[in-house]
C-alpha cells in the first residue's frame, strides 16, 4: 500500500489511477478476510490467509482464488438434490444386519440417521497385488452387460493405461455404457488423442475440475483423489491404485517394488459406490444419471460395509469421522499405512490417545530414499510427538508404500484413497470402504502388512535430528503441510 502511494506521488498523471487500485485492493482485502473468518478452518490456516491478504492484497487475493479450500456451487447442489430424488425412486439394495437401533459407536456413525450408510450382506476380496486387481477388474469389465463406471486420480497413457483404455473401448463397442471420470491435474498427460477411440466407440470420458472449468475456472487446489470402478452395479473396486504401469505391475523404477492395495466388493455396498460415482459425474458434467438401476435384493456375503467420503463440497467428513472413531474404539491394536504422514491434529491426537490407553499403534510410511524431500521433512516434524507417545513408526528403506490401510483390533478394516495428511483431510475428494466385524478380511490384510514389514525399518528417537538447523528445516517444511 505504502509503496503504491509512493509511486503515485512521484508521477502525478498516474496518481488517481494507482490510488484507486490501492484502495480497491484494501477494500477487497477486508471483504475476503471476513470470508476467511466466517468460513472457519484451523486457526493457523485462517491466520496465515489473513496475514497474506492484508500484507499484499492483490497477490493474496490471487492465491486465495487459485487455492480454494471449498466449493460453493449452488447450481450443483440443486442438481445433486434432483439426482438424490431420482435415486430415491429406484429400488435400493438391501442387506442383512442388525436394526439401526442396535448399533453403537462406529456402526452407528456409519449407519447415519436413516440407516442407509451401513449395509450388511457383502462379500469382500482382498487384492494386495496389482496383478490380482487387474485380473479381477478385466474379468468384471469383459463380463459387463449394462455399464462400466470408473473414477481415477492418475490415468497415465503408458503401457498399462493404454491396455486399460483398450478394455474400456471393447466394452463400449459391445454396447456397454462406459463412463470414465479422471482428474484433470492428476491425469495431465492423458490427452484427447488417447481417448479418441473410446469416444468413437460410444464411451464417455470427462475430466474432473479442468483448469478452465466453466463453473469455477483456475481451481487447481481441489482434486478428485478417489479410485473406484463399478460394473453393472454388481461388483465394485476401491483402494489406492490409479491406472499406470507402477500400479498394475508393482514395480517402482527398475528395481524397487510398489506397495499398494485394493478391495473388491459384491453386495449392497456396491450401490453406495455407485452413488459416489453418480455424484462426481454430476459435479463434472451437470448430468444426473438415471440408468444405474440395480436389483433391490442381492446379498453376497455376511459383512457389513459402510462407504464413506470426504471432500471440499461437503459440510461433514464421514470418512475422517470413521477413521478417528475406529481408532478411538481400539482396544488392542491399530495398524495404519499411508504414503504420507502429515496427520491433521484430530488424527494425531487419536493416535496418541490410543497409545496412551495401552493400544499397540504401528504406522507405516515412506522413508527419505523414496519420498520427496519437502514431504519427508514435513512428516518428520510430527515424529517426535508420536514417538514420545510410544507410537511405532516404520519407514520404507527402498520400496514405495502407496497403500492406504487401517486395521483396528483385527476386526475393523478401512481401505480407500485417502492419505493420512492435511491435503486428503481438507482439500481432496476421497473415498473409503469400512468393513465392520470383518475378521477374515482383517486377517488377510494383517498378513499382507506383516509380509511387507521386512521392507520397512523402525524409527526411534535416536533417528531424529538433534542439530538446530535440521530440526528447523523439518519445522519449516511442516508449515507447508496444508499445500503438500
Task: For 187-236, write each residue's pLDDT tens digit.
Answer: 999 999 999 999 999 999 999 988 755 655 556 677 899 999 999 999 99
Average pLDDT, the chain: 83
With 50 as the cut, is the pLDDT of residue 66 above it?
yes
**Residue 8 pLDDT:** 46
Greatest mean pLDDT range, 18-22, 177-181, 286-290: 177-181
With 80 as the cut, is the pLDDT of residue 372 above it?
no
> Tens digits of per-residue pLDDT, 245-284?
999 999 887 788 999 999 999 999 999 999 899 989 988 8
Q: In this predicted structure, which of 69-73, 86-90, 107-111, 466-470 has the lowest mean pLDDT? A: 86-90
What percentage of the chain reaches a pLDDT higher than 90? 51
Q: How far apart are CA 189 and CA 180, in angstroms?
A: 15
Which is more confident, 388 or 290?
388
Which burial class, exposed, middle or buried, applies to 96 when counting CB atoms under 10 A from its CB (0-12, 13-18, 19+)?
Answer: middle
Q: How far apart are CA 367 and CA 315, in angstroms?
A: 34
Q: In this predicted structure, which of 316-325, 330-339, 467-476 has the lowest mean pLDDT? A: 467-476
With 50 as the cut, is the pLDDT of residue 99 above it?
no
With 50 as the cut, is the pLDDT of residue 5 above it?
no
The angle, 0 to 180 degrees and rounded to 10, between the axes of the packed helices 345-356 and 318-328 is 10
**Residue 300 pLDDT:** 80
CB 148 within 8 A of CB 173: no
**Residue 134 pLDDT:** 95
Q: How far apart are CA 421 and CA 26, in angstroms?
A: 34
Q: What is the mean pLDDT of residues 13-41?
A: 65
The pLDDT confidence band at residue 89, using thresholds 50, 70 and 90, is: very low
Q: What is the mean pLDDT of residues 173-183?
A: 96
Sign for the pseudo-dihedral over CA of 283, 288, 293, 297 = positive
Which is more confident, 98 or 235?
235
Q: What is the mean pLDDT of residues 159-178?
A: 96
Q: In this predicted structure, which of 306-310, 374-378, 433-437 has the lowest mean pLDDT? A: 374-378
CATH fold group of domain 318-483: Endonuclease; Chain A (3.30.870)
The pLDDT confidence band at residue 432, using thresholds 50, 70 and 90, is: very high
**Residue 4 pLDDT:** 47
CA dihedral 468, 473, 478, 481 (to 10 degrees): 180
Give the global pTM.
Answer: 0.83
Grid cell digits, residue 51:
496475514
The stretches of 188-317 forming alpha helices (DSSP H) are 192-200, 245-249, 269-285
With 80 as the cut, is the pLDDT of residue 100 above it?
no
**Residue 111 pLDDT:** 84
**Residue 324 pLDDT:** 95
With 90 as the cut, is the pLDDT of residue 362 above it?
yes
Outline which parts of the chain fall under CATH 3.30.870.10. 74-105+120-303, 318-483
Greatest mean pLDDT range, 105-109, 154-158, 214-218: 154-158
**Residue 148 pLDDT:** 96
CATH fold group of domain 74-105+120-303: Endonuclease; Chain A (3.30.870)
The torsion angles phi and psi of 409, rounded to 5 degrees, stand at: 55, 30
Encode 48-74: b = buried (16+ Cβ within 10 Å), e = exposed.
ebbebbeeebeebbeebeebbbbbeee
**Residue 332 pLDDT:** 97
What percentage of the chain reaches a pLDDT higher than 70? 74
**Residue 19 pLDDT:** 66
**Residue 282 pLDDT:** 86
Which is more confident, 377 or 234?
234
**Residue 1 pLDDT:** 47
CB 399 within 8 A of CB 370: yes
Q: What is the mean pLDDT of residues 419-429?
A: 85
**Residue 370 pLDDT:** 75
Amino acid at each position: 500500500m505504502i509503496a503504491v502511494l509512493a509511486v503515485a506521488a512521484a508521477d502525478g498523471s498516474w496518481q488517481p489511477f494507482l490510488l484507486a487500485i490501492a484502495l480497491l485492493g484494501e477494500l477487497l482485502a477486508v471483504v475476503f478476510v471476513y470470508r476467511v473468518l466466517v468460513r472457519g478452518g484451523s486457526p493457523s490456516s485462517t491466520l496465515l490467509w489473513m496475514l497474506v491478504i492484508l500484507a499484499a492484497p492483490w497477490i493474496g487475493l490471487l492465491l486465495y482464488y487459485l487455492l480454494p479450500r471449498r466449493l460453493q456451487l449452488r447450481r450443483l447442489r440443486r442438481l445433486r438434490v434432483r439426482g438424490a430424488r431420482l435415486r430415491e425412486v429406484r429400488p435400493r439394495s438391501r442387506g442383512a444386519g442388525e436394526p439401526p437401533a442396535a448399533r453403537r459407536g462406529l456402526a452407528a456413525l456409519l449407519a447415519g440417521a436413516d440407516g442407509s450408510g451401513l449395509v450388511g450382506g457383502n462379500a469382500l476380496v482382498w487384492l494386495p497385488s496389482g496383478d490380482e486387481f487387474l485380473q479381477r477388474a478385466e474379468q468384471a469389465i469383459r463380463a459387463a452387460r449394462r455399464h462400466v463406471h470408473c473414477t481415477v486420480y492418475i490415468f497415465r497413457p503408458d503401457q498399462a493405461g493404454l491396455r486399460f483404455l483398450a478394455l474400456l473401448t471393447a466394452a463400449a463397442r459391445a454396447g456397454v455404457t462406459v463412463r470414465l471420470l479422471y482428474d484433470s491435474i492428476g491425469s495431465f498427460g492423458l490427452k484427447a488423442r488417447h481417448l479418441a477411440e473410446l469416444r468413437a466407440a460410444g464411451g464417455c470420458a470427462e475430466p474432473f475440475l479442468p483448469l478452465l472449468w466453466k463453473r469455477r475456472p483456475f481451481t487447481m487446489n481441489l482434486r478428485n483423489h478417489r479410485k473406484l470402478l463399478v460394473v453393472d452395479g454388481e461388483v465394485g473396486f476401491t483402494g489406492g491404485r490409479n491406472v499406470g504401469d507402477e500400479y498394475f505391475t508393482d514395480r517402482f523404477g527398475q528395481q524397487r517394488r510398489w506397495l499398494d492395495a485394493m478391495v473388491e466388493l459384491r453386495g449392497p455396498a456396491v450401490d453406495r459406490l455407485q452413488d459416489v460415482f453418480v455424484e462426481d459425474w454430476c459435479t463434472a458434467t451437470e448430468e444426473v444419471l438415471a440408468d444405474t438401476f440395480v436389483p433391490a435384493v442381492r446379498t453376497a456375503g455376511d459383512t457389513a460395509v459402510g462407504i464413506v467420503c470426504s471432500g471440499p463440497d461437503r459440510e461433514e467428513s464421514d470418512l475422517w469421522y470413521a477413521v478417528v472413531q475406529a481408532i478411538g474404539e481400539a482396544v488392542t491394536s491399530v495398524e495404519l499405512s499411508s504414503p504420507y504422514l502429515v496427520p491433521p491434529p484430530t488424527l494425531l491426537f487419536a493416535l496418541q490417545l490410543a497409545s496412551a490407553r495401552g493400544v499397540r499403534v504401528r504406522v507405516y510410511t515412506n522413508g527419505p530414499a523414496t519420498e520427496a524431500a519437502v514431504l519427508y521433512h514435513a512428516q518428520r516434524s510430527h515424529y517426535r510427538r508420536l514417538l514420545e507417545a510410544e507410537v511405532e513408526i516404520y519407514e520404507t528403506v527402498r520400496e514405495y508404500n502407496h497403500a492406504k490401510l487401517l486395521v483396528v483390533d483385527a476386526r475393523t478394516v478401512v481401505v480407500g484413497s485417502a492419505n493420512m495428511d492435511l491435503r486428503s483431510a481438507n482439500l481432496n475428494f476421497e473415498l473409503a470402504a469400512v468393513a465392520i466385524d470383518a475378521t477374515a478380511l482383517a486377517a488377510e490384510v494383517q498378513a499382507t502388512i506383516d509380509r511387507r514389514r521386512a521392507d520397512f525399518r523402525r524409527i526411534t528417537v535416536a533417528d531424529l535430528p538433534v542439530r538446530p538447523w535440521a530440526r528447523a528445516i523439518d519445522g519449516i517444511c511442516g508449515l507447508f503441510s496444508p499445500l503438500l
